[in-house]
Amino acid sequence: MNPAADSNRPPVIDRATLLEELGGDEDLLKEIAGLFLETGPGQLQGVRDAAAAGDALALSRHAHTLKGALAQLHAETAAAAARDVEEPARQGQAATAVAAVPKLETEVAAVQRELEALLKGA
């Protein structure tokens, strides 16, 4: 454990900025949190399937959609992980894109945990 490195890591979701962007609307925050918990897994599965098929075009599309949702949730680390899949996929570098998928899965899982906690009122 290295607490200094831990505190340097940006939060999974920048909740304060997100809430501010939503005009302080807690209900809307919960609505979009629930929405991502519903739709995010499907988008991630799309990324996995495209990676398994080696389909760079589908991979860039699914990673792009996921990136948009994560960026809107102010989940910056996860959005960057999605971009690291999307960019090489769009340039046809399927192998590089596929290699970046596990990191994206880890980050999306962290976002999901954070959103679940948020919905429980934590």
Residues that bind another protein (CB under 8 A): 21-23, 25, 28, 31-32, 35-36, 38-39, 61, 64-65, 67-69, 71-74
In angstroms, the CA 88 to CA 102 distance is 15
| Beta carbons of 33 and 119 less than 8 angstroms apart | yes
* Nearest distance, CB of residue 66 and another protein, angstroms: 8
| Beta carbons of 51 and 98 less than 8 angstroms apart | yes
Q: Amino acid identity of 17?
A: T
* Nearest distance, CB of residue 40 and another protein, angstroms: 8
* Nearest distance, CB of residue 75 and another protein, angstroms: 10
Q: Amino acid identity of 83?
A: R
The residue to which tokens 């609307």 are assigned: 25
Question: Which C-beta is closer to another protein: that of 3 or that of 23?
Answer: 23
Question: Which C-beta is closer to another protein: that of 36 or that of 85?
Answer: 36
Question: Which C-beta is closer to another protein: that of 21 or that of 105?
Answer: 21
Query: Which CA distances in Å does 64 have to 16, 58, 113, 116?
Result: 25, 10, 21, 23
The residue to which tokens 């739709």 are assigned: 39
* Nearest distance, CB of residue 37 and another protein, angstroms: 10
Question: Which C-beta is closer to another protein: that of 67 or that of 114?
Answer: 67
